[in-house]
Chain A
Amino acid sequence: MLAKVRQILNRTFIGSYVANRVDQVRTVNTKNGIEKQAIFLAISLTADFCLGTVIFSCVQQSGYSPQLLPQAIVNSTESTVENLKLIISWLMQNPAGLKLNSVLSRALGKFFLYHIHLWVTYVYLLIPALIDLLQTLSPVFHFLPLSLQLSILGDMLSVLCVHVFCFYAYARRITYSQINGCIALARLFAGKKYNPLRKRVDSADASLEHLFVGTMVFTILLFLLPTSLTFFLVFYSLRLSAMLGLEIIRRSIWLIQWLPCQS
């Protein structure tokens, strides 16, 4: 039960930070060289707090205060949404001179745009609650350790990027099933089929109806493949860049948390 909670907590930055700290304290309590471990843990925590305060005051002096944070969230959400809409409408016309199937690209583009519209509605319902929460927390920000500040930043980023991951999942599903269908029907084209019992490809005695319908569906899937592949590649690259940003934050948190203890 606790492992399940742990699993859910590890998905978020804040939860994993808290869980890691609890783990560290627990290992200090149960290990033998208690003094060494306790000293290192204390060093890590104090370094964290000091760094947090110092960097936060630097940031505050250069003009970014916690009161601006809700507005910053709203602005970045809107700009992300606008950019995604631009990319999708660019894909719906002839992107980079690629010959995409017009009907399918328009259908996929409209589907993704509607999904964005739903998500934006949801976010606009959620933002007032979020803003209230941040307003209550803002005096505390100054005194939080640096890794906790970074984890809050990371969590906000992942909330912003969640629909990029969603789009990647949809496009991947569609493209993958198309590719599988193409491969299976290409085998039928050559008069063979896959034998799952023996895990090999056997010759197939297909009736005329099978051959006819199989060829037509194979041609349709084959010609629709470049379109879905383009959508998939675009969303895959977006997801990669989002993951890169999140990974940087994760590594820096790891650095601050674990480096004093490991030495």
Chain B
Amino acid sequence: MENGRKNQWRKVLYENGGFPDNYTPPESFLAAIERNKNLRLYTKRECFQGAAIVGREVSLVITFWSLYVYLSESLINSEQLLVALLLVVTSGYLYHLRNYTYSVLLSGLKTTLFFLTVGFALSPVLFKLTDTISTDTIHTMSVIGLVVHTFTQNYGIHGPLVSKSISLNSAIFSTVCLASRFPTHIMAFSLLCLAVFCFLLVPMWSEVYVPNPLKSLLSALISVCLLARVLPNYAVLAAVFLILVQVICPLLFFHLQSYKQTIHGPWDEASLD
């Protein structure tokens, strides 16, 4: 203390104010608290949009499973399924043709042809693979695979659990498990084509054409109707779950946003912004 005046402490370290380097005035520490700094509030539209992506993926999985049940109970032919897939894929390609160059589509066509060839070559091995294992075990394993696929799918938000390879691989794993339940290898091949369509082509489509809530509700409706034809009890469960995911959860999220309370202050870790 010099000149009879009390030195005011300032937050500069290159001037010697007579205070030790780690001095803070007792009141100033807690007064520097900031609440809800950089708060991002989501609008209702954004909430429903985010939920639509998840709901679309879940309804895709349900559609895949119901088509597998249709195939195994011979409600549809494998040839019918293959023709239907071909039609959908061709129309999708033609729709894309307006926006994309010829070379991109050609490479996509090459990839698809490669998958078809490999799948057709391996389907005689696949359909005899788990012959002796009981159906219950196979169904359990493929359900676990599809659940893992749903958990690790990329829904637009980066997280530690998201992994593109694990999701694709577990979906293919479930398909290979299910393919062994068929009596002929052409049916196994058609299921494999369906899996390639559902888990490879549809995500690529949805990266470009992001689903909005109405479209995802429509796909949820279609999947539940498909499931209701063969497994009515599970269709009710699926409908409840889809409504929960697509309608109730976003509303809940939107409502609970008002309870957000974060505290920031000088005690935080320094970050380079």
Contact = CB atoms under 8 A, between A and B. Distances in A.
A213 to B, nearest CB: 6
B9 to A, nearest CB: 50
A206 interface: yes
Contact of A190 (B129, B165, B172, B196): B165
Interface in B28-77: none
Interface of A: 94, 99-103, 188-191, 204, 206, 208-209, 211-216, 218-220, 223-224
Interface residues of B, number: 28
Contact of A211 (B122, B133, B134, B168): B168
Nearest to B123: A216
Nearest to A213: B118
A220 B132 contact: no
B172 A220 contact: no
Please name the 7 residue pairs, one residue from A and one from B, whose CB atoms are nearest each other, closest first. Answer: A191-B165, A215-B172, A219-B176, A99-B132, A215-B169, A189-B169, A223-B129
B163 interface: yes
Contacts of B131: 101-103
Residue among B128, B132, B177, B196 with the most chain A CB within 10 A? Answer: B132
A211 B129 contact: no
Residue among A101, A189, A218, A219 with the most chain B CB within 10 A? Answer: A219
Contacts, number: 76
Given A208-B111, A213-B118, A219-B177, A102 B172 contact: no
A102 B128 contact: yes
A101 B133 CA distance: 9
A191 B115 CA distance: 19
Given A103-B128, A216-B176, A220-B126, A209 B115 contact: yes
B139 interface: no
Contacts of A99: 132-134
B10 interface: no
B173 A219 contact: yes
Given A215-B168, A220-B126, A209 B114 contact: yes
A191 B132 contact: no
A191 B118 contact: no
Given A208-B111, A215-B172, A189 B132 contact: no
B201 to A, nearest CB: 11
6 contacts: A101-B129, A101-B130, A206-B165, A208-B111, A215-B169, A218-B169
B264 interface: no
A190 B168 contact: no
B118 A101 contact: no
Given A209-B114, A209-B115, A216 B172 contact: yes
Contacts of B215: none
A213 B121 CA distance: 11
A215 B173 contact: yes
B200 interface: yes
Interface in B101-153: 111, 114-115, 118-119, 122, 125-126, 128-134
B166 interface: yes
B122 A216 contact: yes
Residue among B126, B163, B176 with the most chain A CB within 10 A? Answer: B176
B96 interface: no
Given A94-B132, A102-B132, A212 B165 contact: no
Given A189-B166, A220-B122, A212 B115 contact: yes
